[in-house]
Every structure is written in C-alpha cells, then in structure tokens.
C-alpha cells in the first residue's frame, strides 16, 4: 500500500513537470495524461465485480462483468417504495443515441461566418477530430468575444446535469468562461422561479430550499397533513446532489400513522392513492381563491389567532380590506371562491374549520407556482397559515420542501465535501487577485426569459424592482441541460435559437438540444469517470465515492477535459485546472470534509482508504435535529430572532413591493385571473393543460431507456384525460390523441381516468421533442413534448418565473397511422 502523502507529492511533481514540457503545447490532454500516470494508485477499472456509484436517483450498485455494466440496482433499501429510476444505468451507458464523436453541422463547418442558421436542426452532421473541434470552438469564441464582447456570449446553461461535485458541467463551463473573459448568465431556476423571488419579501428567506420541520415532529404532533399541489411519491425519487432516500420512509410512516391526510391537486396523484388520502381537485391556477375563501370563513367564525397576526405579521389589515372588497366591492368569501376554483362552498368552509381546529401541516409542492401569477399561491398559503397561527409550533404551519430532496429528514451532524467552483478559490499566483472574475455573469437575466432575450436584444425588462437589459447574444454554449425539453413554447424557442451565430453543446446523447447545435462535443456519463457526491441536500447523510465503472465510450470526453483543452487554447490552462487532475480535485473535496471532522470529534477514513473501500460514509443526526421546528426561534422571540424582512415579521403586506408599483403583483396576496384558464371568457381552447414532473424520468433524462416501455401508451408519451371528457371526444384508453393549440401540436397516448378533474388534461414534462418534419414550421411533435403547447410568459414583473402550468389545449382522436419515432436514433 502506497502512502497517500507520497502520492500527493508525486502528483505535484508530475504537474510541475508538465508545465515545463514543450511537447504538451499540442492539444494532447494533460489532465488525462496525469490521470493515466496515477491510475495504478486506485483509479483502475473493475473488470468483474461491483462498483458503488450515485446518481440524482440515489446510491447505485453496479454489477460489472467483463468490463461491462450488466446490472444496476439500489445500493440500499430504505423503504418498500420502489424507485423505478435506479435500474437503467446500462441502458444509459450503452444507449443507441450516444454521441460518439465530435460533430459539426455541415453549413457551419463550411462557413462559420454565414452558418445558415435556418438549417439548425435540419442539416447534415460532419464528424471532425477532437483536436479540430476544440480549435474551431476556440477560434469562434475568440471571434465573438472580439466582435461582441462579453455580452455576446451566453453560458447560462440551465440544467440538471449529473451528480458529482467534480464533473459539474455547468460549473465547469462557467469556470472556463470566467477565466476567458466572462459571459452572460441567468438568475433563478425553472423549479421555483416565482416563489424564490416573492418569499424573501414575505419571510426573509427563499424558503423553498430550506430544511423543514423535522419528520419525527410531524409524525408526533400534526393531526392533519395537507399535501397541497405536491406529489412526493414521484418527486422524492431524486435530489440535486443524490437522494438520501429517507423521504419515502417517512411517507410510509405517515401512511401508517392514521392521521387525516388531504391532497389538493387537480390530479389524484400516486401520493394521494398511496396514502389513501382525501382528494380535493381544484381547477388549475385557482388555489389562491380557495385559500382566500378559507381565510374569509375563519375570520367570519372568529377562528383566527389575533395575537399571532399582530405580533408576527405585518399588514394583515390591508389584506383584510382587500378580502372584504373595500375597493373592488368583491367579498372573497367561500361562495366567491367556489365559482372560481370549482370546489363547493361547503367543502371550502369545512376544510378551513378542520385546519383551524387541528394541528395542521401544509406541505406544498411547487407546481402551482409554476403558473401565471405564480407569486401568489405560496404567499397566500403563508397568509392562511398565519391566520391559523400555528407557524413555529411543532407539526403546524407550512413547508415548501417536503416533496423535494427529502426535506424534513433530520440534518446529520457531519462534514460536507467541497466542490468545483466557477468563481472562487483561484490561486492568487495566477491572477494577482481575482480581476478575471469581474466579468463573470455580470449580465444576467431571469432564466426562463431565454427566448425573449434572444429575440429582443436591448429590451428592458422589469424584474423585482430593477430593470434588466437583454444583451445581444451571438454565441451560446450549453452543457448539462436540455432547453428544447425544458423551455415553454418550444416553437418560439426554435425561432429565437436562430439568432446567434454559434451554438455549442456538450452532450451525452443526441437530445433535441444537441440536434439544434452547430458543434456537438460527446460527453461521458458519470459512470465513465471518477467523482464524489453527498446524498441528501438537507440531511447531508452520506459521502459517496463515485468510481469510474467503465471506460469512456467511443470518443466521449469529460466536460473537465473539454474545458481544460479549451482553456489551453486561451492560455488559461493553469488557471482553469490549477494543474490538478480530477482525482486530485476529488481528494481535495474529500479532505475539506475530513478536516471538518477533525474538529468535530468524528472519525472518517483518510481519502485513500475511503476511495478503496467502495462504500459510503454515513453520518448520524443528533437528537436536537430530529426535534427541529421551523420558525420556532422566531415564535419564541420575534424581537431577538426577527425574520430577514424589512419589518422583521411575516409580510402579508410588503411596502417594498408596493414601491415597485407593478400591475401584475400587488403589495399583498391577490387573486389574478391567469391569461389562460378554464374559467375565462372567450376560451381559445377547451382543456386546461398541466405538465407535472414525470414519475419515471428526471425531466428528459432516461426517456431514451427501456424504462419508457413501462409507461408509454401505444408507444407515445401518455396524456391523462378525464373519463367524461374522453367520452365526449370519442377517445378510448390507448388511443393516440392529437393535442393542440395555437402554439403547436403533439401526439400522445390516452390514459382515460377518473383521477383527473374534468376539463383538465395532464402530460408530464420531459419527453424529447421529435418533430415530424424538421423543415416545417411548428411541426407536429410525435413524441409528445408538452412544451410545444405551454406558454412562454413570465409569472409577473416581480419574479419572471416560468408559467408552464398555465395553458389551454384542444384534443382529438388521431385517426391517421402514428408515425414512427426518430428521436432515439442516431441522426444522419
């Protein structure tokens, strides 16, 4: 056994050697050379055996036979709830649609200065050598930087990439762009675009990514649990780092607890079914009205906590004036709400009383804030919870993250590993300071405005009290995301995508986004490289080694290598890599945790032993963390522990927002009619479309695996249709259906069901966009990509979040023969 220090020394020696050796000025990848030099140490591949790795969908045990992954399964069992995503790793690695080689779109290769942008997505691909591709990207990026400056280069590159703190493609892209002159970035995300901007005004924190009142407390104290627009049995399959899988365990306990559980959702979710919960099905986008009807009910019945409202909240009286229609003469009572949300008055009142009379925990998901005026639902939910007055009490109040990344699973007392960074930790030796960071993402706009930004350079956008000017983007570099799956109104995005001169994408597969690029760099899966991650974004439960399981497929390269080689073309290789190989970075990230443990009286192995063991390190939660109650400090002493809002209290009325003077987001929670909904006059289409997160995918990830066979209907992406609606349209279970509106059309396979509110249809996000005719405008998507139909409008001027759950569509039975899918094959 070699001593780790020896190895570290030899790393340094090798690195120093390479900096001095002239032949390395060629494109030869130094990072890989370094890696191969140390591979005898511990990075050699397993030929036959088992390798532990991790994905967003948890720790996985991979069985390897003759250097091939032949089986993928959960590494551990935490509950009886099965995670369908964990079994398809081999399908991903050996997918038919892997990008094998660097590819350049023919017209772009012919003349990058006049690249026939209209042909994007419908041109021939030409294979080029890796060296040539690197040189081409570097040359064209330099050209854009010279002609258009930092503002011309977009690298916002939103997306869910793969797990791993080292090979974090988006961060690596940003690091590279920062080192070479900056880039246009984005702010916010698609997940909680509205809530993460409004919540700081209301609660002083973003709230959506915060630890929740601990599950043991909920199980002990809550009498009623309301799952409001959430589907944790689906959404807890994954986490941003890697799921710790304990959320399922607690939902199992919740089921057994016998508590009253209510699911409020237009769809009777698998969570609702599993928990045997009561199902309340509002019309999409109308929850705010229902909550207002509840508050009115409680005020009339004198069932509210006056002292909570006066001591802990700000501006309730002004909201009350609105509720009672002081100005608009509309009293927002249960009868009023009932007409909007489609829940009868009696039920609204009954629920309001039930919530007040019992210790009630509202667990809300994010689907309802991904809608026009999406700022309102959570603001109104906080208002309802304030009226009830249980915020900060064990098992009471609200939580906006029980459905995500195992919120509520107690935080462990452990150490946290480091990770690749885009903008810090650059040795002063290279920069004489951090001046090279200054241009980093100085120009950023709200992430879901991408199509608007590309189409309207120079346009000024209102955003949370500020003005943002869209830059003129001429170069896009995208890694680790799939905008042609995730962005709303894809047909408009296609138009917008024609604006820039150059589009580069690093991808593993021929996704719709890769197909819309000029230069495509083949990227490794996380199973073809070494990495490290933690599990549990809130619990920090495990540190997991992610050992390379198989060799890199075809000419696929790690994003780290691609950007290292590009960095070289800009003479910033040292700055970008700090002369470290991936395994050296991984060791460093691990040691950050190791050093923390030294001060904590915890013992974890040295890196080398950890890496060799092929086992996770698991931390434990101390008792006090199992008893955590969100906002209990604030409740105990609001003077000593004020919130981060201007008043230090929960702002039901916000003077900050009042000053912004927006017509689409007022200073208190407001019922606004969405731009498309079932209750509107002159409806342009018949059905409300919701597009929740997929049960058997992570967004678009895994759509190209055999898992698809388990959920596809007549080989199409499913669409859920209410039984009566289907009957009226002559649609039967298993029929192929055309779904359409003025923005576009898709094919989907019908699931006829009573589990969906009448008038609503449901298509999960993430099916790969597969146009029938690539040359045709607004072509039919034969693989059911729902974002062909959704609307690309901001939630409001406040947050500019996406409004993907606000759309109306028509449906009809598709009587022609459904065309064969082409999207999961190699392009020509």
Ligand X SMILES: Nc1nc2c(c(=O)[nH]1)N[C@H]1C(S)=C(S)[C@@H](COP(=O)(O)OP(=O)(O)OC[C@H]3O[C@@H](n4cnc5c(=O)[nH]c(N)nc54)[C@H](O)[C@@H]3O)O[C@H]1N2
Q: For residues 269 and 234, is the Cβ–Cβ distance under 8 A?
A: yes
For residue 746, the cross-strand partners are 739, 781
Site string for ligand X, 796-815 (x = CB under 6 A): --------xx----------
Q: Which is nearer to ligand X, 364 or 584 (CB)?
A: 364
Phi first, then psi, for residue 225 (nearest 5°) are: -120, 125
160 belongs to the catalytic site: yes
Q: Is residue 823 a contact point for ligand X (CB under 6 A)?
A: no
Q: Is residue 482 a contact point for ligand X (CB under 6 A)?
A: yes
Q: Is residue 718 a contact point for ligand X (CB under 6 A)?
A: no
Scanning 570-621, the segments in alpha helix (DSSP H) are: 573-577, 582-600, 607-613
In the list 690, 719, 736, 788, the residue contacting ligand X (rule: CB under 6 A) is 690
Run of H or E residues at 69:
strand 68-74
Q: For residues 137 and 128, is the Cβ–Cβ distance under 8 A?
A: no
Scanning 614-690, the segments in alpha helix (DSSP H) are: 623-626, 632-636, 655-660
Instruction: Report the distance separating Cα 565 and Cα 136, nearest Å.
Output: 12
Q: Is residue 231 a contact point for ligand X (CB under 6 A)?
A: yes
Listed ranges 39-47, 101-109, 502-510, 639-647: which one lies at the site for ligand X (CB under 6 A): 502-510
In the list 586, 765, 782, 808, the residue contacting ligand X (rule: CB under 6 A) is 765
Q: For residues 361 and 222, is the Cβ–Cβ distance under 8 A?
A: yes
Instruction: Report the distance separating Cα 455 and Cα 154, nearest Å.
Output: 14
Q: Is residue 502 a contact point for ligand X (CB under 6 A)?
A: no
Among candidates 496, 486, 492, 525, which has minimal Cα distance to 508? 525
For residue 262, the cross-strand partners are 226, 278
Count how many residues are written for the chain: 828
Phi first, then psi, for residue 826 (nearest 5°) are: -65, 140
Non-local (6+) Cβ contacts of 161 within 8 A are: 168, 169, 170, 479, 480, 481
Residue 559 among known ligand-binding residues: yes
Q: Which listed residue (87, 158, 322, 510) is catalytic?
A: 158
Residue 160 among known ligand-binding residues: yes
- What's the Cα-to-Cα distance from 297 to each of 180, 315, 318, 380, rounded to whole Å? 60, 19, 17, 15
Residue 762 among known ligand-binding residues: no
Q: Is residue 368 a contact point for ligand X (CB under 6 A)?
A: yes
- Per partner kind, with CB cut-offs from 5 to 8 A, the member of Mo ion, ligand X, none near residue 266 is ligand X
In the list 86, 191, 289, 670, the residue contacting ligand X (rule: CB under 6 A) is 191
Q: For residues 668 and 431, is the Cβ–Cβ distance under 8 A?
A: no
- Per partner kind, with CB cut-offs from 5 to 8 A, the member of ligand X, Mo ion, none near residue 630 is none
CB of 266 vs ligand X, minimal distance in Å: 6
CB of 14 vs ligand X, minimal distance in Å: 26
- What's the Cα-to-Cα distance from 310 to each of 203, 315, 384, 415, 650, rounded to whole Å? 15, 9, 14, 40, 10
* Residue for token pair 């058997």: 696
Q: For residues 441 and 182, is the Cβ–Cβ distance under 8 A?
A: yes
590 belongs to the catalytic site: no
Residue 228 among known ligand-binding residues: no
In the list 58, 115, 266, 536, the residue contacting ligand X (rule: CB under 6 A) is 266
Residue 353 among known ligand-binding residues: no
What is the sign of the dihedral through the CA atoms of 638, 641, 643 and 644?
positive
- What's the Cα-to-Cα distance from 668 to each of 341, 542, 622, 671, rounded to whole Å? 20, 42, 39, 10
In the list 88, 366, 445, 634, the residue contacting ligand X (rule: CB under 6 A) is 366
Run of H or E residues at 736:
strand 736-741
Q: Is residue 564 a contact point for ligand X (CB under 6 A)?
A: no
Q: Is residue 509 a contact point for ligand X (CB under 6 A)?
A: yes
Q: Which is nearer to Mo ion, 191 or 289 (CB)?
A: 191
Listed ranges 299-307, 464-472, 627-635, 783-791: which one lies at the site for ligand X (CB under 6 A): 783-791
> Which residues between 401 and 420 bind ligand X (CB under 6 A)?
403-404
Q: Which is nearer to Mo ion, 191 or 464 (CB)?
A: 191
Listed ranges 4-12, 20-28, 365-373, 629-637: which one lies at the site for ligand X (CB under 6 A): 365-373
Q: Which is nearer to ligand X, 380 or 690 (CB)?
A: 690
- What's the Cα-to-Cα distance from 766 to each of 57, 162, 381, 416, 511, rounded to whole Å? 16, 16, 28, 32, 11
Q: Which is nearer to Mo ion, 231 or 670 (CB)?
A: 231
SS3 state at 654: coil
Q: Which is nearer to ligand X, 184 or 263 (CB)?
A: 263
In the list 90, 123, 140, 265, the residue contacting ligand X (rule: CB under 6 A) is 265
Q: Is residue 479 a contact point for ligand X (CB under 6 A)?
A: yes
Q: Which is nearer to ligand X, 504 or 750 (CB)?
A: 504
CB of 504 vs Mo ion, minimal distance in Å: 24
Instruction: Report the distance separating Cα 178 and Cα 502, nearest Å.
Output: 19
Which parts of this chain interact with Mo ion (CB under 5 A)? 191
Listed ranges 261-269, 305-313, 620-628, 808-816: which one lies at the site for ligand X (CB under 6 A): 261-269
In the list 212, 213, 269, 800, the residue contacting ligand X (rule: CB under 6 A) is 269
Q: Is residue 287 a contact point for ligand X (CB under 6 A)?
A: yes
Q: For residues 126 and 106, is the Cβ–Cβ distance under 8 A?
A: yes
Residue 529 among known ligand-binding residues: yes
Among candidates 223, 397, 234, 373, which has minimal Cα distance to 308? 397
Instruction: Report the distance separating Cα 346 and Cα 49, nearest Å.
Output: 62
Q: Is 464 exposed, middle or buried (0-12, 13-18, 19+ CB in 10 A)?
A: buried
Q: For residues 478 and 513, is the Cβ–Cβ distance under 8 A?
A: yes
Q: Is residue 120 a contact point for ligand X (CB under 6 A)?
A: no
> Which residues between 22 and 81 bind ligand X (CB under 6 A)?
none
- Per partner kind, with CB cut-offs from 5 to 8 A, the member of ligand X, Mo ion, none near residue 536 is none
Instruction: Report the distance separating Cα 666 and Cα 653, nearest Å.
Output: 9
Q: For residues 463 and 482, is the Cβ–Cβ distance under 8 A?
A: no
SS3 state at 521: strand
In the list 284, 500, 536, 674, the residue contacting ligand X (rule: CB under 6 A) is 284
Residue 787 among known ligand-binding residues: yes
Q: Is residue 102 a contact point for ligand X (CB under 6 A)?
A: no
In the list 109, 238, 261, 277, the residue contacting ligand X (rule: CB under 6 A) is 238
DSSP codes joined into one string, 679-701: T-TT-SSSEEEE----TTSBTTB
In the list 175, 237, 296, 378, the residue contacting ligand X (rule: CB under 6 A) is 237
CB of 686 vs ligand X, minimal distance in Å: 18
Instruction: Report the distance separating Cα 183 and Cα 155, nearest Å.
Output: 6
- Per partner kind, with CB cut-offs from 5 to 8 A, the member of Mo ion, ligand X, none near residue 365 is ligand X
Q: Is residue 342 a contact point for ligand X (CB under 6 A)?
A: no
Q: Which is nearer to Mo ion, 191 or 376 (CB)?
A: 191
Q: Which listed residue (75, 108, 160, 497) is catalytic?
A: 160
Point out the residues that are catalytic: 158, 160
User: Which residues sit at the interface with ligand X, rule CB under 6 A?
Assistant: 159-162, 167, 169, 190-191, 228-231, 234-235, 237-238, 264-267, 269, 282, 284-285, 287, 365-368, 370, 403-404, 479-482, 485-486, 506-509, 511, 523, 559, 690-695, 697-701, 765-766, 786-787, 790, 804-805
> Binding site residues, as ranges?
160, 370, 482, 486, 529, 559, 787
């Amino acid at each position: 056994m070699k001593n780790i220090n020896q190895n570290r020394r030899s790393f340094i020696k090798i690195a120093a050697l390479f900096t001095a050796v002239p032949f390395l000025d060629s494109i030869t990848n130094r990072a890989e050379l370094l890696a191969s030099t140390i591979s005898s140490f511990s990075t050699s591949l397993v030929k036959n055996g088992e390798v532990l790795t991790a994905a967003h969908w948890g720790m996985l045990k991979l069985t390897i036979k003759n250097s091939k992954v032949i089986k993928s399964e959960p590494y551990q069992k935490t509950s009886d709830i099965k995670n369908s995503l964990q079994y398809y790793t081999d399908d991903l690695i050996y997918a038919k649609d892997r990008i094998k080689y660097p590819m350049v779109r023919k017209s772009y290769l012919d003349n990058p200065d006049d690249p026939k942008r209209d042909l994007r997505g419908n041109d021939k691909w030409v294979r080029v050598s890796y060296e040539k591709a690197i040189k081409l990207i570097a040359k064209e990026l330099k050209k854009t930087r010279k002609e258009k400056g930092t503002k011309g280069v977009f690298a916002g590159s939103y997306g869910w990439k793969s797990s791993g703190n080292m090979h974090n493609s988006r961060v690596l892209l940003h690091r590279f762009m920062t080192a070479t002159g900056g880039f246009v970035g984005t702010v916010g995300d698609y997940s909680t675009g509205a809530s993460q901007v409004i919540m700081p005004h209301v609660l002083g924190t973003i709230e959506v990514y915060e630890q929740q009142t601990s599950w043991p407390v909920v199980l002990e104290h809550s009498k009623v649990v309301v799952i409001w627009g959430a589907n944790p049995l689906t959404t807890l399959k994954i986490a941003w780092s890697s799921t710790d899988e304990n959320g399922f365990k607690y939902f199992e306990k919740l089921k057994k607890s016998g508590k009253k559980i209510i699911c409020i959702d237009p769809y009777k979710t698998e969570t609702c079914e599993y928990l045997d919960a009561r199902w309340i099905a509002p019309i999409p986008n109308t929850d705010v009205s229902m909550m207002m009807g509840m508050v009115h009910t409680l005020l009339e019945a004198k069932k509210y906590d006056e002292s909570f409202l006066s001591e802990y909240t700000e501006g309730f009286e002004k909201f009350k004036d609105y509720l009672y229609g002081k100005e608009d003469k509309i009293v927002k009572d249960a009868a009023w709400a009932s007409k909007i949300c489609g829940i009868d008055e009696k039920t609204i009142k009954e629920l309001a009383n039930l919530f007040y009379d019992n210790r009630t925990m509202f667990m809300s998901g994010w689907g309802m804030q991904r809608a026009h005026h999406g700022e309102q639902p959570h603001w109104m939910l906080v208002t309802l919870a304030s009226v009830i007055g249980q915020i900060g009490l064990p098992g009471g109040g609200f939580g906006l993250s029980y459905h995500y990344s195992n919120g509520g699973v107690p935080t462990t007392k452990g150490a946290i590993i480091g990770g690749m960074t885009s903008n810090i930790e650059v040795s002063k030796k290279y920069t004489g300071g951090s001046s090279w960071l200054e241009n980093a993402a100085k120009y950023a706009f709200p992430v879901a405005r991408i199509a608007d930004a590309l189409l309207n350079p120079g346009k000024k956008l209102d955003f949370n009290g500020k003005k943002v000017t869209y830059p003129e983007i001429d170069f896009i570099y995208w890694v680790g995301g799939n905008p042609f799956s995730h962005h709303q109104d894809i047909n408009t995005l296609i138009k917008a995508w024609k604006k820039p001169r150059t589009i580069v994408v690093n991808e593993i597969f021929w996704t719709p986004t890769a197909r819309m690029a000029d230069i495509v760099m083949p990227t490794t899966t996380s199973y073809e490289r070494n990495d490290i991650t933690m599990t549990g974004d809130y619990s920090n439960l495990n540190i997991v080694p992610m050992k390379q399981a198989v060799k890199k497929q075809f000419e696929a390269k790690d994003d780290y290598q691609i950007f290292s080689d590009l960095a070289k073309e800009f003479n910033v290789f040292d700055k970008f890599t700090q002369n470290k190989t991936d395994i050296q970075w991984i060791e460093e990230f691990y040691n950050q945790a190791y050093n923390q443990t030294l001060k904590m009286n915890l013992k974890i192995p040295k890196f080398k032993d950890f890496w060799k063991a092929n086992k996770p390190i698991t931390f434990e939660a101390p008792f006090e963390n199992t008893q955590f109650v969100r906002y209990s400090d604030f409740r105990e002493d609001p003077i000593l522990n004020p919130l981060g809002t201007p008043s230090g209290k929960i702002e039901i009325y916000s003077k900050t927002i009042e000053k912004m003077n927006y017509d689409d987001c007022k200073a208190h929670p407001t019922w606004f009619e969405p731009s498309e909904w079932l209750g509107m006059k002159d409806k342009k289409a018949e059905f409300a479309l919701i597009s929740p997160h997929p049960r058997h995918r992570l967004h678009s990830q895994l759509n190209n695996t055999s898992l698809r066979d388990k959920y596809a209907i007549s080989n199409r992406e499913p669409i859920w249709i209410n039984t009566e609606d289907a009957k009226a349209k002559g649609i039967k279970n298993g029929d192929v259906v055309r779904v359409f509106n003025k923005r576009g059309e898709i094919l989907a396979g019908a699931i006829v069901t009573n589990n969906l509110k009448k008038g609503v249809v449901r298509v999960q996000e993430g099916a790969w966009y597969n146009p029938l005719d690539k040359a045709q405008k607004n072509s039919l998507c034969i693989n059911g990509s729902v974002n062909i139909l959704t609307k690309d409008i901001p939630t409001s001027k406040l947050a500019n979040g996406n409004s993907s759950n606000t759309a109306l569509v028509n449906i009809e039975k598709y009587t022609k023969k459904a065309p064969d899918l082409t999207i999961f094959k190699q392009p020509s």
